[in-house]
Amino acid sequence: MARILIVEDETHLAQGLLFNLRAEGHEASVAGDGESALETLRGGRFDAVVLDVMLPGRNGFDVAGTLRAEGNYVPVLMLTARSRAEDVVQGFAAGADDYLAKPFDLAVLLARLNALLRRMSWPQAAKPVNGDLPDFAFGGRRIDFDSLELHALGRTVRLTLMEADLLRYLVRNRERIVSRKELLEQVWHVREDTDTRAIDNFVVRLRRYIEDDPATPRYLQTVRGVGYRFLPNPERCGDGGG
């Protein structure tokens, strides 16, 4: 049984989700706007949040961003009618862990939510879940993909699931230029004909975690007009990112 907060201002939809989540054996409650959602989450521990974007007052992007800024890494499933690639990436950049567009199939929502709950249990698993890449060390930094922790610059940062997925993909493809389109398709599972630079905002946050000077990145470099390149040994490969 998980404790789940539904943040949704459409009463009919909120009550339907509440009924079905309780029928699945979860303990569920509802907040009708962003501010009350933040107050509820600050006042108790939840295992997951189903978060609408279009809310009265503070929208879902703002709620997710505030949670992450306050150090709350509860899994967030963003639920919204806005399904353009830019909106999806903005949601992930704000700190969402998954994104489901309305109208949605209830079975799909439950499957996505259960997947998030399972992934958050990885640190307590008896064996590594990520198989060939449970962790990775570079430049005095270490990413633990099983505990979702990044140890760098004398501190430990708790990664969101999507931050860990993006770093894992870049690490697996280290020293190779990875396009924005490839990241959208392989990490965010967004397929569109046109590229988007909204993903840059997400990378900026990762640089704050791993770079000595995020304004002049050495490990997570931008290849202008193309995408990104992760260099665990920038001295060997040569600088030249940005």
Summarised one tens digit per residue, pLDDT across range 195-214 is 466 677 778 889 999 999 99
Q: Does 7 fall in a domain?
A: yes
Confirm whether 72 is domain-assigned: yes
Q: Is 242 a domain residue?
A: no
Highest mean pLDDT among 17-21, 160-164, 178-182: 17-21
Residues 39-61 pLDDT 10s: 999 999 999 999 999 999 999 99
Distance (Å) of CA 222 to CA 161, 162, 177: 22, 19, 9
Paired with 143 in beta bridges are: 136, 150
- Judge if pTM exceeds 0.85: no
* Residue 222 to residue 88: CA distance in whole angstroms: 21
**Total count of domains within the chain:** 2
CA atoms within 13 Å, Cβ hemisphere of 15: 3
Among 55-59, 78-82, 111-115, 226-230, which is the least confidently predicted range? Answer: 78-82
| Residue whose tokens read 């295992």 | 47
pLDDT of amino acid 6: 98
Is the distance from CB of 233 to CB of 138 less than 8 angstroms? yes
Domain end marker among 54, 89, 120: 120
Among residues 97, 120, 143, the one where a domain terminates is 120
**132: DSSP letter:** T
My answer on whether 53 and 146 are in the same domain is no
Q: CA-to-CA distance for 87 and 115, rounded, in angstroms?
A: 22
CATH of the domain at 98: 3.40.50.2300
Which residue among 96, 120, 144 closes a domain? Answer: 120
Contact status, residue 219 vs residue 239, Cβ threshold 8 Å: no
Q: Which domain holds residue 175?
A: 135-237
